Structure formats: structure tokens, C-alpha cells
Amino acid sequence: MQKLSKSLFPIIIAFTIIGISFTACEDSSEQISSHYPLLNNPKFEDKYRDRENDNAAEQYPLEVLAQFELPENWQEIAEIQNKYAEIIYELDYERLVDYDYLFKDMCFASRTAFNWRDVGKVTAVRNQGGCGSCWAFAAMGAYESSNMIRNNITADVSEQDVLNCAGAGSCRGGWYDPVFKYMLTNGVASEASEPYLALDDFCSPRLYKPFRAINWGFVTVKREIPSVQELKDALCKYGSLSIAVKATSAFMRYNPADGVFKEEEAGKGINHAITLVGWDDNKNAWLIKNSWGSGWGDNGYMWIDYNTNNVGYAATWVQAQSRFYIPDDYLLEVIRERFEIINPFLHPEEFEKIEG
């Protein structure tokens, strides 16, 4: 297999492991779980509740549901990660050159409209319940889409495992970059083996964790919100994206009968993580997948104007490990330049065990 130019090695060697110390935002007056008893119920699983009642926005206040919080230096973290991601992307693509037909889907950024849901590359809408874990659902939404695109595998990956083990946050807030790091270095379990509880729990490191990322990065490090064209390009290149938005009371009450959501007085900042799955220029809007249940919005989705509520902030992509090759020593060497310890990746035949 052809290797990359040796000129890349100075760049690779220059990378250092970044210790990301993230502290989730907390309720300064009283623990949120004391207000919402369901959080303390270990049997609480509302992910697949009846559609008529499957709407977290009708059961919990905004400050419980929307708890996405970025560290102040997130753009510095993103810049270093993107340098690493560019190298891995080239290595990954090099190994898949014989399978590039798999990526020639129907997505072209020049199209007037496209979304991954309509071509069957988006998993079912989930419900985060009364836990501020939107960041975990946004990350898993993007990963599951990539897994469907790259491997044709429809899998429900465990947000609870991410919540327990990734070090990315808690029910009181978090963000998705450490989630993807954990998916590359350790892997994540299936929903069946670690069901969602909507509460903070202990990590189960002995679980079988076959769902692995091979790479991730930010759509751009030049600005907080990528341009419409940059987001379209990323959607076609990588699949669904993890993005942030400013969720408000109006956002919570979104009614698809009112058309595209646009809020004139949304204010600054972001507080919620969602999954971006497509666009429609005729609507001047993005199609986003939320994690408040299928009873919210348009069966769990929303059409939101390109230029409202800071939608697209800190947009991030992830690529699932491909079933079509085993990462070789050269690729693993590059990965270890950034992450010293990584668990073994799946062999292609093992992918048959994780389908469905």
C-alpha cells in the first residue's frame, strides 16, 4: 500500500496529547435530579415510548434539556484536531480506494436540496429524557449515520456508555469532541448491552465496545459557524454532522405546521446539541434531528432557517471505522502519535456480529 509522503512526519511528531479538562455546568442552587425524580429511577427508559407521549419538551424545562457547553479554548482544540484529522483522512481514503464506489451516494453540495434521512442513512429519533445529554445524542446521531453510509450497518449505539465512560460530560452538560476521541481509542457499546437510563451511572469498561470511529474533525476552525456552503460540503463528504444551536422556548414549541422555524430574537450563544442531516435551498433551511423524542416537532425533526439561532455552531464530523480494511501498522502509528493507548480495532469479519 502506498504510504504518505515523509514530509508529513514532522507534522505528525509535532502533535501532542491534549488533556482536556471539562467541567459540566451545574445547577448552582440544587441538583437537577432532586427536582425530577425520574432521573433517580434506574428503570427509567423513555427512548422508545409511545409516540403520543414521546416528547421530552413537554415533560422537562429547557434548562434541563439544553445543556451543551463548549470549553473556552474549543477552537484551539479544534485547530490541532483538524491537523491530525487531515492526515488520517488521507490515510483512510488511501486504504479505501478500491471501494470508493461506496461513497458515490446521491449527495452533491451543488444540489438544491438533499438530506440523508430520505436515502435511509439516518437512524431513528431518540429521546434523552430528563438528562442534559443532548451532546451524547448529537454525537451518536452523526456516528450512526456514518456507520450506515460507510458500512451499511444500522445500529443503535449506547448513549449511556458515552455518558458513563467518555469523560465528555454528564446529565448536567457536556460536548462531543471527547466522545469521538473515546470512540477512536476505546469504542462504544450497543444500546442493547448498555440501555439508556437518563442518569449518570458508573462506567462498565468490560462491556463489548465494537463501535469505533477512525477519525473526526471540525468543519472549520476559521469561524464559529461554518458557511452554508461549508456545511453542505461536509454533509456530502462525511454524512450527518453534530452541531450546536441556541434552543429557546419558541424552539421547544416548534410546530411544523408553521413552516420553517426562524426566530428573530433568539439572542447570542448556544446551549443545545443536535444532528444536522440535510438542507433545502427553496426553504432556505437545514433539516435537523433532535433528541427530544418522535413526538417533538416533525416526528423529531425540524426545518430551521440557515441564519437563525446560531444553528451550525461548532459543527463536527465523524467517520466510523470501515469494515473493508484492518488499520495497518502505519495508520496505527500515526494515531498513537496523538493517543498513546488505543484498543484493538475490529477485524472485518467481526462486523457481521454487530449488524442490526
Q: Give 202's contacts (C-beta < 8 A, 6+ positions apart).
A: 164
The torsion angle over the Cα atoms of residues 164, 166, 170 and 173, rounded to 10 degrees, is -160
In sequence order, which ranges of the chain are alpha helices (DSSP H)? 9-14, 32-35, 62-65, 74-95, 134-151, 159-165, 177-185, 228-238, 249-252, 329-338
Catalytic residue among 134, 165, 171, 236: 134
Per-residue DSSP letters for 211-269? Answer: B-EEEEEES-SSSSS--HHHHHHHHHHHSSEEEEE---HHHHT--GGG-SB--TT--SS
Q: Which residue among 115, 236, 271, 272 is the active-site one?
A: 272
Q: Say whether 25 is catalytic.
A: no
Q: Would the CA dihedral through 178, 323, 144, 46 be positive or negative?
A: negative
Q: How many CA atoms lie within 13 A of 148 on its CB side?
A: 22
Catalytic residues, which ones?
134, 272, 290
